[in-house]
Structure 1
C-alpha cells in the first residue's frame, strides 16, 4: 500500500511530465498575451507582493540568490524565481529560501490549471500554440507566492525582458546584470538589440540598479530610464566593490552601496565576478528597502554574505581530486570562468571536462579554455541538444593539439578519465566540468550532490 509521501511524489512526477510535454523553454513565443490573460483571469496575483526583477546575460541567477538571501536576513518572507533548474523543477520556485514543497507546488498547479486550459483553448481556436513550459511555471510561481503570502519576490527573467513571461509583474526595483551576446535567434545578434529587449523590465517609476556595461548597452538602458521616469543607479558611480582579496573558501570584499559602506565581508564564493554580483545585490536591496537612501544594518549584510550560495557556479563538489563544476554556456560566461580560475585557484594540473549544447558558440569557448587547462576531456550530456563528442574533439584539437585532448562519449566515464588524468604522475590536480547548465547539473548528480 502506498504511503502519502509516495502518492505525492507519484503525482508530482505526473505533473512534471505534463509540464514538460509543453513547448520547451528554448522554443519561445515572443508574446506576453497568454500569461497576461491567465493572470487577469486569476485576479492578477503578481500584484499582491513587491517585486525585485532581474535580467542580464551572465550573473543574474547568482545575483537573484544574493538579493533574496539579504532580504531574508532582514526578516522578510521571500519568494525567489530562477531558471533553469539544476536537478528538480521545484528549485525554480523558492519560498523562504527553500525550493517549494511538493504539496504546495501541486496545490498551486491545481489552482492555475483551469485558467491555463482556458487560455490554451482560446489560442487553439485561433490556430495558436498552447502555453509553454516556462509560461506555466511562471504562473505557478506567482500563484504560490501570492498564496504563501510572500512580502517580496525576487524574480529572474527567463529570456530577454520585454516579452519574458515574468514581465507581467512590475518590479519596484529592476536589476540589470552584465549584458552580452547570447540567444541571438530570439533576442537579436547585436548588443543594442539584446539590451533593448532586456531594458523592458524597467517600469515607470522604478529604481534601476545597473551593473557595469558596454557603452552601447548602458546608453540604451539609461534612455529607457529617461523614457519611463525610472531612477538609474550605475555600478562604478553609485556603488561598487572597493576592495577584494582571495581568501580560503572564497574571498574578502568591501562594498560601497547606494547609502552605506560595508567592509571586510567574507563571501564564500569564488571569482571576482561574484564580488561584483554581490555589490549589485547590496545596491538592489538598499534600493528596495530604503529607496537607496538608507544603509542596511552591517550585521544583516555580513550574515547575508556569509550565507550566500550559488550552486553550479565554480562550485567544488568533490575533493581528492578536487572536482569543480561551472555552468558557463556562452563566451562571456566562459571568459568570467577563466578569469576566476586564474584568480582563485593554484592547481598543479587542471583537467577540463567539456560538454556544450549545439546552438552555443562552442569553438570560441574551447579557445578560451585552452590557456588554463593542461588537458581536455570532451564528452556529451544526456541532452539531445548536446554537440557530438567527435565534433567537439575536432574543434578542441585545433587549439589544444591531439596529445591534450581525449574524447569520451559518456559523461560518467569522462569524469572518471579526467580524475585519473588530474592525478597522473602522482601530481595532485583538479577537474573542471563546464560548458552548460546541464553539464554542471549532471556532474553534481554523479558525485552525489543534489542540494540547491
Structure 2
C-alpha cells in the first residue's frame, strides 16, 4: 500500500517503461475485474490530431455553466499529474489519487501474470479514471480525450453519448500509419453503433474514411461545412469571434478568449457536441450557458502569454498542423514584431516538415532539448534547420534566460514551442522564477 502522493505518482510513472501497446485486451480485462465502470458513466469521446484538449475544455465549460458536474480525462498534463483526472476543472485530490493507485496496483500485478502482459502507464491511468468517476466521485458526464489514435486506444472501452473528431493530420505516423486515410481510420475507430458523431476534419481522404465508418455503424454524422457551419468574424485583443449554424439552430456573435483562428474550429465542434447532448439526450443547455462557457474557457500551454516584458508565449505545437496554426496565430496577434523561437521536440515527430515552417517565420531560432525519454538532441534539430540565424543549446533554461535578457525592453517576442512535455517544464520554470 502506498501512503503518499509522491509514492503513487512514482509508481504510475514507472510504467512508462512499457511504452505504447495498442490493443484493448488489457483494458477489457481491467473492466471485467472492476465490475465494468465504463458502463456506469455517461461519456463523450474526443479524438483527432490537434485541438482535442481545447475541444474538451470548451465542452466542459459549457456543460458546467449549465449546472452539470463534469469529469474530464486528458493528457498530457501541464502543471500537475492530477489534472489528467478532473471534476469541473479541479484536479483529483492527492488523497484520492493514492486511493486509486492502491486499488489498481493489485489488479495490475495480477494482469501482468496473464497472457496479456503488463499494462502501460496510460492503460493504468485510464482504468483509474473510470473507477474514480463510477465509484468514488460520480458525475453527470465525463469527457474522455483519446491518448493515441482511437481504435486501439485504452479509452475506447467506453460507449459514449456522442463522439467528436477534430482535424486529422500527420502525427504519430510510426504507430498510426503513413497516410491521412490510414490515420483517419484509427481516429474513426471511436465511432460506435448508433452513436452520433461530429467532426471538423476537412481533408477529403480523412472525411471519406469517417463517412464510411459512420455509415457502417449506423451513426448520424455531422460534418463541418456541410451539416453544421461556422463563420469566423475576426480576432482582437479579447480573442476570436464567430457565428455558428447547425440543424438545431443558429448562434450569432459567439466569442472565445483563446487566441488563434484554429480555436474557432475547436469551439464550434464543442458547440456541436453540446447541441447533440441537448437534442439527442435532453441535456438542458441554454444559450447563455453556451456563450459564457465558451468565453471563460482557457487551456494553458496553447498560445499562452506568460510575460509582457519581454513578451513570452508558450504553445504546444507538436506536429505540422500545430505549427501551421501557431504561425497563423502569430501573424494575427504578433503582427509587426520580430519573433525569436525556441523549439524542442520528441524524436517521433515529423520534424522534416515542422522545422522548415518555423525557419520561414522566425527572425531567430534556437534549438534545445529537455529531460524526457524520447526528447531529440538539440544538435539533431539544428541540423534539420536551414535558417541563417540559428543556434542550439543543450540547457533549455540557459537558452530561455539568455534570450529573455536580450529582448527585454525591445519590441521582440519570444515564442517557445514544440512538445507539450517540454512546454510543461518551461511554463513551470518561467512562472516560478520570472512572473
* Contact kept? 1:55, 1:198, Cα under 8 Å: yes
User: Unaligned 5+ residue runs, structure 1?
Assistant: 1-7
**Distance in 1 between residues matched to 2:361 and 2:177, nearest whole Å:** 31
Q: CA deviation at 1:17?
A: 1.1
Q: CA deviation at 1:204?
A: 0.5
Match runs of 1:208-287 below 5 Å: 208-287=197-276
Q: What corresponds to 1:130 in structure 2?
A: 118
SS of match in other structure, 1:291 = helix
SS of match in other structure, 2:23 = coil
Q: CA deviation at 1:276?
A: 0.9
Say if 2:403 is the partner of 1:418: yes
**Distance in 1 between residues matched to 2:366 and 2:221, nearest whole Å:** 45
Q: CA deviation at 1:346?
A: 2.1
- Encode CA deviations 1:172-196: one digit per residue, 9 max, x unaligned: 2010101112111211111111111
Distance 1:255 1:309, change over 3 A: same
* Contact kept? 1:351, 1:374, Cα under 8 Å: yes
TM-score, normalisation: structure 2: 0.94
* Contact kept? 2:56, 2:145, Cα under 8 Å: yes
- Encode CA deviations 1:249-276: one digit per residue, 9 max, x unaligned: 3222222244232222331111000011
* Contact kept? 1:52, 1:288, Cα under 8 Å: no
Q: What corresponds to 1:20 in structure 2?
A: 13
Q: What corresponds to 2:390 in structure 1?
A: 405
**Matched residues, number:** 431
* Contact kept? 1:258, 1:286, Cα under 8 Å: no
* Contact kept? 1:225, 1:232, Cα under 8 Å: yes
**Distance in 2 between residues matched to 1:386 and 1:294, nearest whole Å:** 43
Deviates more, 1:210-219 or 1:285-294: 285-294
Q: What corresponds to 1:365 in structure 2?
A: 354
- Encode CA deviations 1:73-125: one digit per residue, 9 max, x unaligned: 111111100111123221111112211111122222223333222222223xx
Aligned with 2:48 (options 41, 56, 65) = 56
Q: CA deviation at 1:287?
A: 0.5
* Contact kept? 2:111, 2:117, Cα under 8 Å: no
Say if 2:194 is the partner of 1:205: yes
Q: What corresponds to 2:422 in structure 1?
A: 439
**Distance in 2 between residues matched to 1:106 and 1:339, nearest whole Å:** 42
Q: CA deviation at 1:434?
A: 0.5
User: Unaligned 5+ residue runs, structure 2?
Assistant: none
Q: What corresponds to 1:144 in structure 2?
A: 132
Q: What corresponds to 2:70 in structure 1?
A: 78
* Contact kept? 1:206, 1:231, Cα under 8 Å: yes
Deviates more, 1:235-244 or 1:218-227: 235-244
SS of match in other structure, 1:21 = helix
* Contact kept? 1:70, 1:300, Cα under 8 Å: yes
Distance 1:39 1:292, change over 3 A: closer
**Distance in 2 between residues matched to 1:56 and 1:369, nearest whole Å:** 23
**Distance in 1 between residues matched to 2:168 and 2:190, nearest whole Å:** 14
Q: CA deviation at 1:293?
A: 9.7
Q: What corresponds to 1:4 in structure 2?
A: none
- Encode CA deviations 1:179-225: one digit per residue, 9 max, x unaligned: 11211121111111111111111101101011132111111111111
Q: CA deviation at 1:418?
A: 2.0
Q: What corresponds to 1:3 in structure 2?
A: none
Q: CA deviation at 1:292?
A: 8.8
Deviates more, 1:377-386 or 1:185-194: 377-386
Q: What corresponds to 2:104 in structure 1?
A: 112
**Distance in 1 between residues matched to 2:190 and 2:346, nearest whole Å:** 28
**Distance in 2 between residues matched to 1:108 and 1:383, nearest whole Å:** 26
TM-score, normalisation: structure 1: 0.91
Distance 1:258 1:308, change over 3 A: farther
* Contact kept? 2:416, 2:423, Cα under 8 Å: yes
**Distance in 2 between residues matched to 1:202 and 1:321, nearest whole Å:** 46
Distance 1:295 1:251, change over 3 A: farther
- Encode CA deviations 1:33-85: one digit per residue, 9 max, x unaligned: 11111111111111112110010011111111111111111111111001111
**Distance in 2 between residues matched to 1:228 and 1:209, nearest whole Å:** 14
Distance 1:21 1:142, change over 3 A: same
**Distance in 2 between residues matched to 1:237 and 1:167, nearest whole Å:** 27
Aligned with 1:179 (options 155, 165, 168) = 168
The RMSD of aligned alpha carbons is 2.0
Distance 1:322 1:55, change over 3 A: same
SS of match in other structure, 2:394 = coil
Q: What corresponds to 2:319 in structure 1?
A: 330
